[in-house]
Structure 1
Amino acid sequence: MPTVHVPAGFSPALANEPPDRVVGSRLAATGARFWFLLAVGSLVLAGLLSLTLVVGRLPFMGWLFTDPLFFKRALVVHVDLAMVVWFQAGAATFLALALGAAIPRVGKVVAGALAFAGVIGLLAGAVMPGAQPVLANYVPVIDHPVFIGGLVCWFAGTGVFFAGALAAPAACPRILPDDALVALRASALANLVALATFIAAWRTTLPGLPAIGYYELLAWGGGHVLQVANVAMMLGLWLMLLHRWSGHTVISPAAIRWLLAALVLPQGVLPLLALAGTSRPAYTETATQLMRWTIFPVVLIVLGLGLRHVGRHWAQRAAAGNWRLVGLAGSATLTVLGFILGSLIRGSSTLVPGHYHCAIGAVTLALMTAAYDFCAATSAGAPPAMRWRRVQLLCFGCGQAVFGLGFALAGAYGLGRKQYGAEQHVRSVGEYLGLGVMGLGGLVAVAGGLLFLAVMLRCIGTWRHRSPQPV
């Protein structure tokens, strides 16, 4: 029987598998590539838009930009690409890698077509004449049928894929460790709960409300659940990276199921509350309290178990894989910093974006770190430019932390959020200092993001010359 080369960190049991499993693994890698392309493509656009947003926040540059709607349109597209498309496509990438061969082909094609059409709709809607940005929390929109249609197509496509991933049997032998796969499937379930909440809210939210009130209520519950889905994905990536660093599973399947059940299952009440009416206080307050009290206990438990795992296996570590710890440490630090800043929020100031930029930066850094392993898994031979990965992870992680702290400092002095250019009123030295720190951190984070994209695009460029490796 022919042997199969398996990339470092993946299950060596596949080396002895028959050719039909090898073909299935190649198909899984091909499907995962599609979602990875969507993820990286969305991050390219979101990264470029984030540079515009950073410049628009700098106090000495405000005179150049007198139309705040320009930045608000850019902010809408940036947030939806960076917080919806990037994260959901990232989760789909690793689920497709692990389960893609077991998901029915029709479902994968339908999901992919809808998702791709959704991204096109988001971009096209942003340039429609007369389109008005609505800066609702979690899922901001541009109030135009083309943009809204793009969002609907995207969520429908990912919903089809995540449903297929939940129904698909796990491959044997496993491509991902059991604890990581449980967490990724929990992320898929949370994404479906978010979709159900969006649909329920759409049915009960009064259409006669002002645009900001309508879309705020529509996205509030589902948007909170999306953050839970992102956290579950991040935990899965932490566990996967720790396994690849040490060669050992971090948490038993039973324990991780209980932990992820405590994180995800309570969110199941939100579709029911949305059906009862989004104007009721129970809908908005329950979503807030669930995010406040269900995320941090599970994350801190997994983080503690991860630290114990590193301590146990430090002496036996492979030096070549230590770059993974850079990304893991940065993601964990941003997570804890996000928890601290979140606990300090008392009103609507830039402390709020300081908190959530640390939180989403933690998920992004975990996904970036895992992306290097993905490139190694789906390319023949060593992917190009991997020597930059440690520098890139440090650059993005440190920049994002400084960015969030700058926002928090300005917010501590009362600076309002969602204001750009000439619309922004800076009154104190503390606000100037906070925005200056924010601008510096933002530029460093953008530099790290652009370096990541350069490496990823080089890896993607090799795909047409190399067949995907069985994984």
Structure 2
Amino acid sequence: MEFVNQQKSNERSNNLIYAWLFFAVSSLIFAGIFAFLVAMARTPVIQDILPGKDYIRIALVGHVILSVVIWFLAFEGVLWTFTSTEFLGVRIFSRAVAWSGFWLSVAGTVFIVIAAIFGLGIPLFINYIPVLTHPLFYTGLLILAAGIAITLLNTFLTIRKAFKERTYSGPVPLITFGMAMSGMAVAIAFICFGLSYYFQIFAPSRKVLLDFETLFWGGGHILQFANTIAMVTVWLFSANLVFKKFPIKDMYAKALYLFYLLFVIPAPFIYFIYDTASQEYKDTFTSLMQYGLGPSTGIFAIALLILIMSSSGGNKLLSKIKGLPWAEPAFSSLVISMAIFVFGGFISLMIYGSNTKIPSHYHGVIGGVTLSFMGLTNHMIYTLKRDIYSARLARMQPYVYGIGQTLFVIGMFIAGSHGVQRKTFGAAQNLDDIAKIIGMSIVGIGGLIAITGGIIFVVNSILSLIGPQRVFPVADPVKKSFQENKSW
């Protein structure tokens, strides 16, 4: 199904899509600012003027929550809105509710950013959602969660409205189905957060103090399902943009999505089986992610690889690879995203102990999700009737970010293999042999290259979004523009 050419323009939903996309890209601006502040917090003299004695940890909390939590949820907000309206040919269920969800998400993010900039509270490096122990930060998280929850509710009601009114022909479009599954995973993750809070505070076995690691452990694992499902959906979307077809039949693809849910839906019941303070509680959620993410993602990746190789001319492998459209950002970001994600997943099989192999693993998978979202942004900008500010930068960006992120992952793996512990900084890293020094040096070089790729993406996207609107005379303006504007 060539759904890309069947989208129906809806100015009202376009305004909301534009807002979510601008918010998503802007979150990376602040993530970059905090990455810069991490470097400044290690710089003599400058570190003395920053708030707090240990500002590097505060800045890291700000960077991680913006780049891993808010950026992902905001871009998923783009896709939830886009796929539930444009693909189904229906107006959004409630504009008032939709905008309420958006502005609550923005307001929550502002509170989080303010808390991190001014160094409020003590930084806690919690898995999945790091925390600053300050009421302003807590309030920001709650408001952000409320905004996302409202957005999800409105999305589900919009899909229900389209189904009742039969505004589309045939089955639910695959991309809409995939993002609905991602939304369900986010909703279940929020339920897990609520249950964890309840069993720690109000249940008969309640604790005196709230344990944030326990609070975010279960729901954090389920959020990774949501992000992976969204990434796979973007892979399929990008493949259809480039090759005008999906790599797998609609029925089988939807079955693979439902397989993810087999490991997501049971999650809330774990809180009624195990004490949240028990090791069984932690191990069960780890097992859900360990066995639930790999099979469907692997099958999707293999199907995409087969589609890619069968779409290229030539009989020999090298000629097939050369014949692929490497100059198209939708394609290059798809391939590099898949490669980085698979690399990060492979590293997970070699993790033991608490060393930097762990961040090596999740920087690989997170990098794969991030690059897939970045790659689709060009199409979203054109859907909003804007030109890409610089097609040359758009072509470069996936390679720059991909190379940097790969080096970062490799460096972390080398350092961890030689005993460098995670969540340590400066002298505490104990870089006492050449292998550790080489590993962390590669981390620094890769980090700088990846940040450069991030800057290119943010600058090019923002300048494109604030550019003038135009009316495209063709159904597929992205590809046509990249073909015509060779001078860029």
Q: TM-score, normalised by structure 1?
A: 0.88
1:428 paired to 2:433: yes
CA contact (8 A) 1:40 1:86 kept: yes
State the AA in 1 paired with 2:30. Answer: L
The SS at the match of 2:182 is: helix
Moved more, 154-163 or 276-285: 276-285
**Could you tell me how far 1:37 is from its partner in structure 2?**
1.4
Q: Which amino acid aligns with 1:351?
A: K
Matched, 1:123 2:113: yes
CA distance in 2, matches of 1:270, 1:318: 41
1:43 pairs, out of 22, 28, 39, with: 28
Cα distance change of structure 1 residues 311 and 319 upon mapping to structure 2, 3 Å threshold: closer
Residues 1:439 and 2:424 are matched in the alignment = no
Q: Which has the higher contact order (CA 8 A, sep 6+)?
A: 1
AA aligned to 1:458 is L
Rounded to whole Å, the distance in 2 between the matches of 1:324 and 1:414 is 38
1:181-260 mapped onto 2 (5 Å cutoff): 181-206=176-201, 208=207, 214-260=211-257
In the alignment of these two chains, the number of paired residues is 446
Q: Which moved more, 1:421-430 or 1:189-198?
A: 421-430
Tell me the equivalent position of 2:411: 406
- The Cα of 1:128 is off from its aligned counterpart by 5.5
Q: Distance in 1 between matches of 2:471 and 2:94?
A: 20
| Residues 138 and 255 of structure 1: CA distance in aligned 2, closer, same or farther (over 3 Å) | same
CA deviations on 1:65-88 (whole Å, 9 max, x unpaired) are: 698721111111111111111001
Choose the corresponding residue for 2:343, options 330, 337, 355: 337
> Would the aligned equivalents of 1:245 and 1:318 in 2 still touch at CA under 8 Å?
no
Cα deviation, residue 168, structure 1: 2.1
The CA distance in 1 between the partners of 2:116 and 2:73, in whole Å, is 21
**Equivalent residues of 1:179, 1:251 under 8 A apart:** no
2:4 counterpart letter in structure 1: S
Could you say what secondary structure the match of 1:205 adopts?
A: helix
Deviates more, 1:253-262 or 1:351-360: 253-262
Q: How far did 1:291 drift?
A: 0.9
Amino acid at match of 2:66: L
Shift of 1:52: 4.2
- After superposition, the Cα gap between the structure-2 partners of 1:354 and 1:177, relative to the gap in structure 1 and judged at 3 Å, is farther
Shift in alpha-carbon separation, 1:236–1:129, aligned structure 2, 3 A: closer
Partner of 1:274: 271
By how many angstroms is 1:55 displaced? 7.2
Distance 1:43-1:229 versus aligned 2 partners, 3 A rule: same
Deviations 1:104-140 (A, max 9, x none): 2232022112111111111122256751111111001
C-alpha distance after superposition, 1:368-426 (max 9, x if no partner): 0000111111124x322122112111000110010011011111111111122354432
Among candidates 146, 157, 175, match of residue 180 of structure 1: 175
- 1:179-232 residue CA offsets vs partner (Å, 9 max, x unmatched): 222221111111101111001111112575666xx0000000000011110000
1:313 is aligned to 311
Q: Partners in 1 of 2:20 and 2:120 — Cα distance?
A: 32
Partners of 2:358 and 2:140 lie apart in 1 by 28
Q: Distance in 1 between matches of 2:45 and 2:428?
A: 10
Alignment of 1:353-372 (within 5 A): 353-372=359-378
The residue type paired with residue 294 of structure 2 is: F
Point out the more displaced range, 336-345 or 120-129: 120-129
Seq. identity, %: 25
2:397 corresponding residue in structure 1 = 392
For the 8 Å contact 2:326–2:332, the answer to whether it is kept is no
Distance in 2 between residues matched to 1:11 and 1:177, nearest whole Å: 14
Unaligned runs of 5+ in 1: 1-8, 15-20
Deviation of 1:238 (Å): 0.2
**Which residue, 56, 64, 67 being the options, matches 1:79?**
64
In structure 2, give the amino acid aligned to 1:164.
Answer: N
* 3-state SS in 2 of match to 1:168: helix
Instruction: Output the amino acid matched with 1:258.
Output: A
1:274 Cα offset (Å): 2.6
- CA–CA separation in structure 2 for the residues paired with 1:130 and 1:33: 32
Q: Does 1:103 pair with 2:100?
A: no
State whether residues 200 and 271 of structure 1, in contact with CA within 8 Å, keep that contact through their aligned partners in structure 2. Answer: yes
Aligned match of 1:374: 380
Is the 8 Å Cα contact of residues 125 and 146 (structure 1) preserved in structure 2?
Answer: yes
Residue matched to 1:11: 4
Establish whether residue 29 from structure 1 lines up as the match of residue 34 from structure 2. no
